[in-house]
Structure 1
């Protein structure tokens, strides 16, 4: 392991830290019990003596390696953007699992290749004709992966169709999700991307955060399932899917426990199946438990929702909601021959969608943007990202990217690669403004809204979090007490400690950076 702390200033000038740096580090190494229970809210500077470098080195290293964190594998790279110099490193070039900090890579590449104003487009066609307020034929909807379509959007479509004089549809509502990554690649045998990411954990697939992606997406491809207790102990629990059209088939293995037993509900759904197994128990008399679960087929879910929206607005649909994959090849060709456009919907720009993606760490948004790269440039998304990163000087020995969200265990990044991207985005004025707006602000919003309270980082640090089993990460920006801009990337892997201890150490580390100051004495 290597760990070095480079001074932010010349050796001729003393290194200054606010009093908070020592406290912040001591909190993470278990010494806070002898001090105030909260971070001091002071900006009074204290000058360390000539051995400051060694002292700070020791303190930061103790933060990272003290019990119970001694088995944690760290990758850290901190740089001063203002002075173009490294501040602290710890295994900066070690490939580690980044979790959701990978979204920084997805957004960086998309913003440069597609542009911040790029928009998803979804179009509605018909293969029939309109006569006396009746559409004789099918409605065919084609999308490019817009992850933001909700009930309001579908309702507006229904209203626009009525304004065009369509009060009845004699045919089906067909979802055409056959978007490919390009005909040249199709001829060479390269398949379109699957709905699920490579390397996603099978036991995540039932949950809303691992929803499948596709060209047609509605309500983030998630529905809510409600679990209620039975009337007596050992009675089956009650299960209800709160949104129609999910395609899920509930397999009820959940029972009712006694009032004194804690409720524990488990969900399981294998890839490419619609059976959602609900097991565990819920306490007698307990309030309902609601869980967000992923739908089985995004296209079917979409067209069912569109069918419902049309009916709700008074457009009678005589046919069914159909995924085009359910039709024979002849039926598919017939349904999509001689199409006429009825309406086109554009999403908000990437700059707006990215705010939701980053602050909420919304995986479906990230996967949709990632896949759009492949669709737009007729190549696999992974190949596009790899090529762009290489152009930026980041080779595969520093970044291996296989999905857009960071859910895959096949993703590997070095801390130095992440910091390279952060510095690159910050140094371009328009990128800086738009990218900073997507990051969570410490103690204020997003995934950092409940972190860094009463520290120098509160309202100061802007960063993307990352979290999965035995992985915690944080990457972004923080200013020192002098207002000097730092970029940092912190990856923690393979720890056996309580994740809360790891997060505490990461937060203490960033708060220590926020208290650093250049003194002129």
Structure 2
């Protein structure tokens, strides 16, 4: 029996009676519910819902209506809605157009690069597209390079934490995306280690792993002490100042989010043209539309939505999630639609699937926002729907598998014991949050589950203390014991 905080004994018995009444009314499994209640922590906010697929009511709904931060479990909603709204075969396109004429290796007129927010577009693909000019014999452009995309829409959703914004998992969401709007770097020590318990900084170098139009000014280094931390400050478009210290004396991989997607894309485009020996006589400028009479010189497409959703679930890719949300918004509300309209379209799509979200709160497609609030009950309804819907069921095969793939490949306690190879689920983790939602099978029966836990401290968030691992192992053990008893009768 869970003891509510600051409750009298009489109040605790009242709560227990209410729980029993609820179990009886909804035909929940009393034994499993008591197990969950016994194992539930008392110092964090938790919820657990378990269903046997094919049955109408959940076997367990422990705080199933409590609204908590979903973190990346939000991506389950986005992936499902994207398939319904955009279609599994939808692709992002990036196009090269001109309103000029080509004669004697000269393009007289403007060149238009039309970006639609392809989250997987790489600088290599951009070079391939611009190389079409060389194939057409163009050596000089007498005009401007116009980058066409949405230049007014917010690139961050409400509730994104400010000190995440310089890191790649919170890269800006824009029409203009190249290499995930992310730059990889490495920091390496250049001086001798300091004696133990000695204060000071060992000099270090920060170098980009590959060429990119991004500048890092760094005086960061390696030091001793509990307060040794790194920090970055934006100094200008795609230019940062990296300072502070890191306490471990080893090379440190870094991933910086750019801060100006249009400038980053423009600089990449100009560098690629220079590398192709194509001279641009005009400027790189921004536009919201290309002329209607412009003709296409080339186009590249992303992989289809089915493949994009598989990647976002397996790797928990925030940029893919939010670009899909904005693509849904644009389809229904036009090119200037943003996060608010995207959330509206997502909610409508899920309501058409029978999942009511009116009493919940959504702000983005990735789960990065600290304003998102979802219940375990709603998330479990979605899992049941995904399993039942042939159009959505491929999403199950895309989920990480315990001890094998994606975000569950190395996550404790899923790399050993009864949970390894058995759980297929989406993780949802951020500061103070550790969630899991997915599926498992016992004795030929398939189950869906959702485990939410909010309010964790750094110490609580140690892998060996994960509540979802403990409760899933205990529930599976009890289901296996029941199946064994049934088979021996």
**TM-score bin, normalised by smaller chain:** 0.7 to 0.9
Counterpart Cα distance in 1 of 2:415 and 2:263 = 44
Listed as ranges, the matches of 1:482-497 within 5 Å are: 482-496=443-457, 497=459
- The SS at the match of 2:146 is strand
Distance 1:310 1:58, change over 3 A: same
Distance 1:282 1:435, change over 3 A: closer
Counterpart Cα distance in 2 of 1:240 and 1:58 = 55
1:276 aligns with 2:275: no
Deviation at 1:73, TM superposition (A): 0.5
Name which of structure 1's ranges 238-247 and 372-381 shifts more when overlaid on structure 2: 238-247
- The SS at the match of 1:174 is strand
Any conservation in 2 of the 1:142–1:216 contact (CA below 8 Å)? Answer: no
Partner of 1:400: 361
Any conservation in 2 of the 1:236–1:252 contact (CA below 8 Å)? Answer: no
Partner of 2:313: 358
TM-score of the aligned structures, taking structure 2 as reference length:
0.82
Counterpart Cα distance in 2 of 1:343 and 1:161 = 9
Partner of 1:63: 39
Any conservation in 2 of the 1:101–1:466 contact (CA below 8 Å)? Answer: yes
Distance 1:235 1:513, change over 3 A: closer
Counterpart Cα distance in 2 of 1:475 and 1:321 = 50
Deviation at 1:383, TM superposition (A): 1.4
Listed as ranges, the matches of 1:399-438 within 5 Å are: 399-432=360-393, 434-438=394-398
Listed as ranges, the matches of 1:265-304 within 5 Å are: 265-269=229-233, 274=238, 276-282=240-246, 286-304=249-267
Task: Choose the corresponding residue for 1:148, options 120, 128, 140.
Answer: 120
Task: Choose the corresponding residue for 1:372, options 312, 327, 330.
Answer: 327
Listed as ranges, the matches of 1:371-390 within 5 Å are: 371-378=326-333, 380-390=341-351
Listed as ranges, the matches of 1:81-480 within 5 Å are: 81-178=53-150, 193-229=153-189, 231=191, 234=201, 237-247=204-214, 250=216, 252-255=218-221, 257=223, 264-269=228-233, 274=238, 276-282=240-246, 286-312=249-275, 314-319=276-281, 322-324=284-286, 336=291, 338-378=293-333, 380-432=341-393, 434-451=394-411, 452-480=414-442
Deviation at 1:513, TM superposition (A): 3.6
RMSD, aligned CA = 3.1
Distance 1:173 1:264, change over 3 A: farther
Any conservation in 2 of the 1:254–1:265 contact (CA below 8 Å)? Answer: no
Deviation at 1:410, TM superposition (A): 1.0
Deviation at 1:361, TM superposition (A): 0.5
Counterpart Cα distance in 1 of 2:188 and 2:96 = 40
Counterpart Cα distance in 2 of 1:369 and 1:198 = 17
Distance 1:320 1:234, change over 3 A: farther
How many residues were matched structurally? 448
Counterpart Cα distance in 1 of 2:407 and 2:283 = 37
Any conservation in 2 of the 1:478–1:510 contact (CA below 8 Å)? Answer: no
Distance 1:458 1:127, change over 3 A: same
- The SS at the match of 1:400 is coil
Counterpart Cα distance in 2 of 1:146 and 1:133 = 30
Partner of 1:34: none
Any conservation in 2 of the 1:224–1:242 contact (CA below 8 Å)? Answer: yes
Listed as ranges, the matches of 1:40-59 within 5 Å are: 54=31, 56-59=32-35
Counterpart Cα distance in 2 of 1:60 and 1:271 = 51
Give the unaligned 5+ runs of structure 2: 1-14, 193-199
Any conservation in 2 of the 1:246–1:296 contact (CA below 8 Å)? Answer: no
Counterpart Cα distance in 1 of 2:349 and 2:447 = 24
TM-score of the aligned structures, taking structure 1 as reference length:
0.77
Any conservation in 1 of the 2:238–2:264 contact (CA below 8 Å)? Answer: no
- The SS at the match of 1:411 is coil
Any conservation in 2 of the 1:465–1:474 contact (CA below 8 Å)? Answer: yes
Counterpart Cα distance in 2 of 1:395 and 1:472 = 24
Any conservation in 1 of the 2:48–2:60 contact (CA below 8 Å)? Answer: yes
Higher relative contact order (CA 8 A, sep 6+): 1
Give the unaligned 5+ runs of structure 1: 16-52, 180-191, 326-331
Deviations 1:243-283 (A, max 9, x none): 555455x45452454xx669955233469975534222257
Any conservation in 2 of the 1:199–1:409 contact (CA below 8 Å)? Answer: yes
Counterpart Cα distance in 1 of 2:439 and 2:462 = 22
